[in-house]
Amino acid sequence: MLEVRSVAALRGDHLVFADLSFRLEAGAALVLTGRNGSGKTTLLRLIAGLMPCAAGEVLWAGEDALADLSGHGLRIAYLGHQDALKLGLTATENLAVWARVRKDARAAAIERALGAVGLQDLAHLPVRMLSAGQRRRVAIARLLLSGAALWLLDEPTTALDAASVARLGELTAAHRAAGGMVIAATHLDLPLAGAAEFSLS
């Protein structure tokens, strides 16, 4: 499905990495490891089309994925370092902007997604009043609402407690069982059964 073919990335004049290649089939997961600054975030952003490749190409089902960046975005659900939440809006309002669900089904889908991350009781509170871990879980709920095939997770377990990490493991497993793909950059052990490991070093 997704194929990364000998890509390289530049940050200014600095070469972050070069000649990286891997393939990811439907239902597969990949864990990116490597020390700080080895380019895990850069690689995720490059796959998402948020950063240009200095060399190489990213293929989706055999075709150049980055030719149509807007269309490519629909395949991607990106959980970055930041939660991308507006503090003045409630969890429900935050998610309503991003949910790729038909309007009449949106409220129910958001409720389900918040239930899946265990936040159904806090849905009506401004995100400002949630803890860092709870905000992270709202951002995880956005993944569920994206309908995207490929989840790009950048340190997804930041600020999460053990129970929430386990729950994220279940959510990624369900996503993969439905044919989705996951690429996660993580220091901690996110429970991703049978995930391949890709080391950036």
Which residue ranges make up the site for another protein (CB under 8 A)?
A: 45, 48-52, 69-71, 73-74, 76-78, 80-86, 88-89, 93, 96-98, 100, 142
Q: How many CA atoms lie within 13 A of 129 on its CB side?
A: 9
Min dist CB 100 to another protein, Å, is: 8
Rounded least distance, CB 86 to another protein, Å: 6
- Which residue's CB is nearer to another protein, number 4 or number 44? 44
Give whichever of 122 and 152 is closer to another protein, judged by the CB atom.
Answer: 152
In the complex, least distance from residue 87 CB atom to another protein, rounded to whole angstroms: 8
Nearer to another protein, 32 or 77 (CB): 77
Beta-sheet pairing, 29-33 with 181-185 = parallel
Give φ, ψ of 9 to 5 degrees: -135, 140
For another protein, which is the closer residue by CB, 152 or 192?
Answer: 152
CA distance 139 to 114: 10
Minimum CB distance to another protein smaller for 32 or for 53: 53
Spatial distance between the Cα atoms of 58 and 52, rounded to a whole number of angstroms: 10
Can you tell me the distance from the alpha carbon of 108 to that of 59, in angstroms, rounded to the nearest whole number?
34
Q: Cβ of residue 197: shortest distance to another protein, in angstroms?
A: 25
Name which of 140, 125, 135, 168 is nearest 29 in CA terms: 168
Nearer to another protein, 23 or 86 (CB): 86
Least distance to another protein, CB of residue 170, Å: 24
In the complex, minimum distance from the CB of residue 71 to another protein, in angstroms, rounded to a whole number: 7
Q: Is the dihedral of CA 179, 55, 83, 107 positive or negative?
A: negative
159 vs 97: CA distance, rounded Å:
24
Strand spans (E) along the chain: 2-11, 14-24, 29-33, 55-60, 63-64, 76-79, 150-154, 181-185, 196-199
